[in-house]
């Protein structure tokens, strides 16, 4: 039996979405599959929803920037922010945890705490040296 604590546990993963008809992966989730025109229905009332696949693992840094004007809840003077491409071709944005980022570098993406507000934490991809 699932405990109440597990039932209401915060989902800290970042997901890709797989089309149930043709198997193509997307991030972020589309409303219509580009490959087979299958429609996504998160309510599952009419169509089956796309399968959620946790993202992470080896990737390559395509581009990055450093941001100094940060919103509330990020307790540091600046953050580096990167776009990575995974080996399966998916691209995603993440917080760079690398001191001296170089475009083209191999990195490892993991889900982690990216922003803290009162009563609410935000999780996203964090990018580490491979
Ligand atoms: Zn499809």
Which of 43, 45, 46, 41 shows the shortest CA–CA distance to 19? 41
- Whole-model pTM: value is 0.83
CA of 101 to the centre of ligand 1 (A): 35
Q: Which two tokens stand for residue 45?
A: 């009332």
Contact 17, 27 (CB under 8 A): yes
Average pLDDT (8-12) is: 78
CA of 40 to the centre of ligand 1 (A): 9
Per-residue confidence (pLDDT) for residue 66, from 0 to 100: 95
Please count the other Cβ atoms lying within 10 Å of the Cβ belonging to residue 112: 17
CA of 10 to the centre of ligand 1 (A): 29
pLDDT(10) > 90: no
Average pLDDT (116-130) is: 90
CA of 88 to the centre of ligand 1 (A): 16
For residue 114, say if its preceding peptide bond is cis, omega within 30 degrees of 0: no
As a whole number of angstroms, the distance between CA 105 and CA 99 comes to 13
CA of 29 to the centre of ligand 1 (A): 12
As a whole number of angstroms, the distance between CA 59 and CA 91 comes to 9
Per-residue confidence (pLDDT) for residue 116, from 0 to 100: 86
CA of 53 to the centre of ligand 1 (A): 15
Band of pLDDT at residue 118, cut at 50, 70 and 90? confident
pLDDT tens-digit map of 76-92: 899 999 999 999 999 99
Q: Which two tokens stand for residue 47?
A: 């169509």
Per-residue confidence (pLDDT) for residue 53, from 0 to 100: 93
Contact 19, 49 (CB under 8 A): no
Name the residue with higher pLDDT: 16 or 75.
Answer: 16
């Amino acid at each position: 039996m699932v405990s109440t604590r597990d039932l209401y546990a915060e989902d800290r993963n970042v997901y890709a979405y797989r089309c149930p008809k043709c198997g193509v992966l997307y991030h972020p989730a589309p409303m219509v599959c580009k490959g087979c025109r299958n429609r996504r229905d998160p309510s599952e009332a009419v169509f089956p929803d796309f399968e959620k696949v946790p993202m992470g693992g080896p990737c390559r840094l395509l581009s990055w920037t450093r941001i100094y004007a940060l919103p509330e809840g990020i307790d540091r003077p600046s953050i580096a922010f990167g776009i990575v491409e995974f080996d399966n071709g998916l691209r995603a944005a993440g917080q760079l945890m690398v001191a001296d980022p170089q475009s083209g570098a191999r990195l490892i993406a993991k889900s982690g705490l990216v922003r803290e507000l009162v009563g609410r934490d935000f999780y996203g991809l964090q990018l580490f040296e491979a």
